[in-house]
Amino acid sequence: MDEGLGEEIGRIIGSVQSLRHLVPEGGLRKQEKVAEEMDDLISPEYEPYFLGNAALHICASCQRCGRCCREEREIAVSGSDCRRIAKHLNISLKAFMRDYTRPHSLSSRDVGDARMMRKNVGEPCPFFDPSLPGCRIHAFKPQVCSAAFYLSKMNLLICEEMVQFSSFPNCPADLDLRAKMADLASRLKNDPLASGELERFFYSDLPEAELFRKLLRLKGIEIYFGQEMAALLAGKLGLKRLPGNSELHDAAFLYAVLLTGRTSEQK
């Protein structure tokens, strides 16, 4: 095994093992019940694409090019989004909904309290600021914006249908991520020992590998459904807290490289 690659893999496996500090003494609680609840939220038929796209999302770094803000025609905002953004803007919820949103194009029976961002044809999102550039409420933006592109419902459907992970050639963040992934994939291809060690670890039933996959799924749920839902599930498991993206980043990167390579081979 290449010495440098071996050291890198060892460090990252060590970072996964260190996640055990999030587990309460005595171990996780209600695991079967929480697994059922997560399956109800995201059907297992979307695996491995939900986990893989969660890993890609964690690893991609939005470069705030504004393409989404300018070109996306419809942006859904939930009631929770509206409250969070209104608070950040220091305006009332009523004022925010009046000035920045419009009724959803679907019936409330289907979308609940969700609305659409008020956005005229040919104009960018009202929160796009070309001088930044990018979103001026970036840290508080709607959940659907936070989930794009990897964990959008449409992308999950496409991945499941095409039996492969999507790429987004017009997104600079995805282009940068794919270049880094291709570099590591090439190194692993030339080092079967390193590749085999990673395969054995990430797809094993070792407690730390299972914990990593569970935490990654929770992070995917946090991205897709919001922090409140993920925190509720984490609390039921007895986790001390949800891990930050930085705690999962390096392992998620390795996992994404392995998973995208595996699905490409299977196809």
Helices 172-189 and 192-202, packing angle to 10 deg: 110
Most confident of 1-15, 156-170, 227-241: 227-241
Q: Give the DSSP letter of residue 106.
A: S
Any idea which residue has 């929480």 for tokens? 34
**31 CA to centre of own chain:** 22
Structure-token pair, residue 38: 């997560």
Q: What is the pLDDT of residues 78-96, one digit of tens each?
A: 888 999 999 999 999 999 9
Tell the burial category of 266 from Cβ atoms under 10 Å away from its Cβ (0-12, 13-18, 19+). Answer: exposed
The secondary element (H helix, E strand) that includes residue 177 is helix 172-189
Task: Compute the average pLDDT of residues 194-207.
Answer: 91
Q: Report pTM.
A: 0.85
Render the burial of 31-45: b for 16+ CB within 10 Å, e for the rest: eeebeeebeebbeee
- 119 against 250, higher pLDDT: 250
* Rounded distance between C-alpha atoms, residue 4 and residue 125, angstroms: 45
Task: Give the alpha-carbon dihedral of 173, 174, 177, 178, to 10 degrees.
Answer: -150
8 Å CB contact between 82 and 97: yes
Compute the distance between CA of residue 145 and CA of residue 72 in angstroms, rounded to an integer. 10
> How many whole angstroms separate alpha carbon 223 and alpha carbon 214?
14
Q: How confident is the model at residue 170 (pLDDT cuts 50, 70, 90)?
A: confident
73-77, 145-149, 174-178: which is most confident:
174-178
**pLDDT score of 217 more than 70:** yes
Mean pLDDT for the stretch of residues 32-52:
93
E-state strands within the chain: 76-77, 101-103, 115-117, 128-129, 134-135
What pLDDT band is residue 264 in, cutting at 50, 70 and 90? low
Average pLDDT over residues 54-82: 88
Instruction: Work out the number of other CB atoms within 10 angstroms of the CB of residue 60.
Output: 20
Q: What is the pairing mode between strands 115-117 and 76-77?
A: antiparallel
Q: Which of 236, 256, 230, 210 is nearest to 146 (CA)?
A: 230
In the prediction, which pLDDT does 6 show?
87
* Distances from the Cα of 92 to the Cα of 88, 89, 227, angstroms: 10, 9, 22
Q: Domains of the chain: which residue ranges?
A: 3-60+151-266, 67-146
